[in-house]
Amino acid sequence: MHLNEFNAAGRDEADATLRPCLDIQRWVDGLADARPYPSLDSLLDAGRLTANPFTPAEIDAALAHHPRIGERAQGNSTEAKLSQAEQAGLGEADAAVARALADGNRAYEEKFGQVFLIRAAGRSREEILAALNTRLTHTPEEEQEIIGQQLREIAVLRLEGLIEQ
């Protein structure tokens, strides 16, 4: 969709365009309500700033839509296709890295009670594993801040892929 189409779209269509990027209603409302955007950069900047910080409930809701790193998102929704493309860029992992990611995912979920979330685009499996191991040393409060940042990065990358200047 072109930016001018997004700016002119009805509210339902704008919401439907934004929701696969980040399914947090306050974020969707903030971006849709601030239209029209003079440039793609202004839309992306708004995507970074809107709903910052996220509440714990918003983070929980957003995480419910994200598969574990190394696992394929199910379904044919726009959100699932975006997630599949992001993780496809990781390439094939060797068995040791795949095992370490699976073990790390389990340890993270046991410690924090939620899925490990990281922007996969532009990172190797080894980089993700290193970040996972570092984040396992964090407190829950530190993780909430990092997860919010990761959600924003994912949302902006998805938004950039869906909206053209």
Q: What is the 3-state secondary structure (H, E, C) of the chain?
A: CEHHHHHHCCHHHHHHHHCCCCCCHHHHHHHHHCCCCCCHHHHHHHHHHCCCCCCHHHHHHHHCCCCCCCCCCCCCCHHHHHHHHHHHCCCCCCHHHHHHHHHHHHHHHHHHCCCCCCCCCCCCHHHHHHHHHHHCCCCHHHHHHHHHHHHHHHHHHHHHHHCEC
In the predicted model, what is the mean pLDDT of residues 107-123? Answer: 94
Contact predicate 90/72, CB 8 Å: no
The average pLDDT across 92-104 equals 88
Arithmetic mean of pLDDT, 64-81: 68
62 vs 51: CA distance, rounded Å: 13
Which whole number is the average pLDDT over 26-52?
96
Percent of the chain predicted with pLDDT > 90: 75
Do the beta carbons of residue 16 and residue 162 sit within 8 Å? no
pTM, to two decimals? 0.85
Burial of 64 per CB tally in 10 Å (0-12, 13-18, 19+): exposed
* pLDDT for 89 beyond 70: no
pLDDT confidence of 115, banded at 50, 70, 90? very high
Q: Quote the pLDDT of residue 88.
A: 55
Query: How high is the pLDDT of residue 64?
Result: 85
